């Protein structure tokens, strides 16, 4: 009897792994359809995080579902399949594939009562839905970015003036488009901030602080990027401008901003560790 139960449980796990792998492939395919320079890699990071979270508690999961929850889970997964393969426009469904996939497979695996086991994972998938919404409905920061980049150029000694989103130097001008406003970088850094919050033990003040720092870093680093492009236009260096605008150079600023955010989070974690050690030593 015990052998039959273990074999049945293994079959359930294999089915769940197969369905989960298919849903991962589908969601990555959907991500690849949306133009966003780092969107695919952010999704990979989130999926790896989900895998690590599930792997950590896999032996403690209760894999018991019922007919009602299984039907609901199947319907949710079917919606994702329908939207992906037939590209049917069902309201705002294009925002929710990650969350629908998560709820669907969680219901298949553990039913309604078992959903609380996947609270952290579902919250992460929920953020991916929020991320999709932010990408589709981007804030317009062009004017603020133009003003900030103009201030940077003025403080570094350049003769610069601005009219609207146009930055004028004596030998050339550059227009700040919405794609260069820095909102994409801000969204990416906010995504990294969410991962840090879920992976590490932080105080509630730090959980509020990290997203704020992430947004500010994204805006500031992008402001320096726009200032650099204005200088390159003024110098007439078209090749360098294209490199830093749409080439690999644009990704370098994203990497630099990500490293700054990682260093800040590392500083917070080190501080927490030192405070914990000091409190232990004091109690002794």
Give the distance, in angstroms, between the CA of residue 173 and the centroid of all CA atoms in the same chain. 33
Digit-coded pLDDT (tens) for 44-102: 888 888 888 888 887 788 878 788 888 898 888 888 888 777 766 555 666 778 888 88
Q: In the predicted model, what is the mean pLDDT of residues 203-222?
A: 92
| Residue 126 predicted with pLDDT over 60 | yes
The model's pTM is: 0.84
CA–chain centroid gap for 5, Å, is 40
Enumerate residues 6+ apart whose C-beta is below 8 A from 122. 99, 102, 103, 106, 115
For residue 4, what pLDDT band results from cuts at 50, 70 and 90? very low
Q: Which helix (H) or strand (E) holds 118?
A: none
Residue 116 vs residue 38, higher pLDDT? 116
Percent of the chain with pLDDT over 90: 16
DSSP annotation of 91 reads: T
Q: For residues 16-24, give the mean pLDDT.
A: 81
The residue assigned the tokens 């927490």 is: 272
* Cα 41 from Cα 1, distance rounded (Å): 45
Summarised one tens digit per residue, pLDDT across range 212-221 is 999 999 999 9
- What are the residue ranges of helices labelled H in 156-203? 183-199
Structure tokens at 113: 């009562």
pLDDT averaged over every residue in the chain: 82
Q: How confident is the model at residue 3 (pLDDT cuts 50, 70, 90)?
A: very low
């Amino acid at each position: 009897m015990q052998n039959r139960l273990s074999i049945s449980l293994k079959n359930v796990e294999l089915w769940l792994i197969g369905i989960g792998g298919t849903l991962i492939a589908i969601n990555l395919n959907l991500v690849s359809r949306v133009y966003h320079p780092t969107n695919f890699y952010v999704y990979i990071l989130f999926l790896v995080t989900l895998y690590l979270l599930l792997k950590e508690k896999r032996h403690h999961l209760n894999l018991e579902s019922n007919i009602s929850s299984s039907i609901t889970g199947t319907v949710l997964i079917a919606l994702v399949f329908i939207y992906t393969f037939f590209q049917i426009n069902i309201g705002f469904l294009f925002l929710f594939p990650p969350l629908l996939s998560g709820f669907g497979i969680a219901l298949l695996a553990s039913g309604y009562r078992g959903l609380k086991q996947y609270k952290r994972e579902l919250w992460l998938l929920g953020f991916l839905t929020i991320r999709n919404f932010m990408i589709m409905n981007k804030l317009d920061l062009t004017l603020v970015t133009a003003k900030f980049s103009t201030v940077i150029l003025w403080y570094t000694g350049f003769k610069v003036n601005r009219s609207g989103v146009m930055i004028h130097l004596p030998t050339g001008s550059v227009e700040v488009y919405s794609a260069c406003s820095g909102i994409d970088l801000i969204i990416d850094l906010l995504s990294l901030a969410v991962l840090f919050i879920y992976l590490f033990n932080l105080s509630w003040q730090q959980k509020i602080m990290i997203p704020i720092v992430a947004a500010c870093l994204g805006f500031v680093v992008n402001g320096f990027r726009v200032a650099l492009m204005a200088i390159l236009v003024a110098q007439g260096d078209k090749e360098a401008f294209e490199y830093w605008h749409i080439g690999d150079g644009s990704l370098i600023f994203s990497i630099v901003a990500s490293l700054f955010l990682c260093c800040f989070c590392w500083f917070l974690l080190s501080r927490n560790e030192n405070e914990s050690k000091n409190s232990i030593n004091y109690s002794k």
